[in-house]
Amino acid sequence: MSAVAYARAYQAQSILTASPGQLVLLMYDGALRFLAQARDAFTLSDEDPQRIGHINTALLRAQAVIAELQANLDHQAGGEIAQNLDRLYDYHLRRLLEANIRKDESIVTEVETLIRELRDGWAEMLRTTDATQVA
């Protein structure tokens, strides 16, 4: 088995054994990874024929992750927080669509900042929840 196959097996196993809270964190990490790929693609030369395709693909992947987060909100259990997250995810999706149409890197950076704040807050919540549960 090659190193790539071992890495994929490890990644699959970590997803299968993750808690629901950890899965959300992984989703945020995935969205951030795709947004970083989009920003990297903006640095390609305008003459590079693959530039637009790379930007488009990365933004579509980020949108898919955000749409999945939005689709899995539990509005009954989450109440007002779920409603606010739903609106925020909707904003992210609209802004990324605009970024993709206009090929505007500043919009990608804006959404990346917002997603990072959510991710960091979620990670802190998981950390403190795990610490209080252990204690």
pLDDT at 135: 38
Which of 11-20, 45-54, 94-103, 112-121 is predicted with the least confidence, judged by mean pLDDT?
11-20
**Gap between the Cα atoms of 93 and 130, Å rounded:** 31
58 within a domain of the structure (yes/no): yes
Percent of the chain with pLDDT over 90: 76
62 within a domain of the structure (yes/no): yes
Residues 47 and 31 sit within 8 Å (Cβ to Cβ):
no
Pairwise pLDDT comparison (43 vs 8), residue with the higher score = 43
Q: What is the mean pLDDT of the chain?
A: 89
**How does residue 19 score in pLDDT terms, banded at 50, 70 and 90?**
confident
Task: Copy the structure tokens of residue 108.
Answer: 């990608």
8 within a domain of the structure (yes/no): no
Domain boundaries, position 35: 20-134
In 3D, which of 134, 133, 91 has the Cα closest to residue 115? 91
How confident is the model over 33-79, as pLDDT tens digits? Answer: 999 999 999 999 989 999 999 999 999 999 999 999 999 999 999 89
Whether the predicted pLDDT of 15 surpasses 70: no
Domain count, the chain: 1
How confident is the model over 122-131, as pLDDT tens digits? Answer: 999 999 986 5
10 within a domain of the structure (yes/no): no
66 within a domain of the structure (yes/no): yes
pLDDT at 129: 83
82 within a domain of the structure (yes/no): yes
Whether the predicted pLDDT of 132 surpasses 60: no
59 within a domain of the structure (yes/no): yes
Q: Which positions ≥6 away from 61 have C-beta within 8 Å?
A: 30, 34, 37
pTM, full prediction: 0.85
Q: Give the domain CATH number at 99.
A: 1.20.120.340
Q: Dump the DSSP string for the chain.
A: --HHHHHHHHHHHHHHT--HHHHHHHHHHHHHHHHHHHHHHHTS-TT-TTHHHHHHHHHHHHHHHHHHHHHT--HHHHHHHHHHHHHHHHHHHHHHHHHHHHT-HHHHHHHHHHHHHHHHHHHHHHHHHHHHHH-
11 within a domain of the structure (yes/no): no
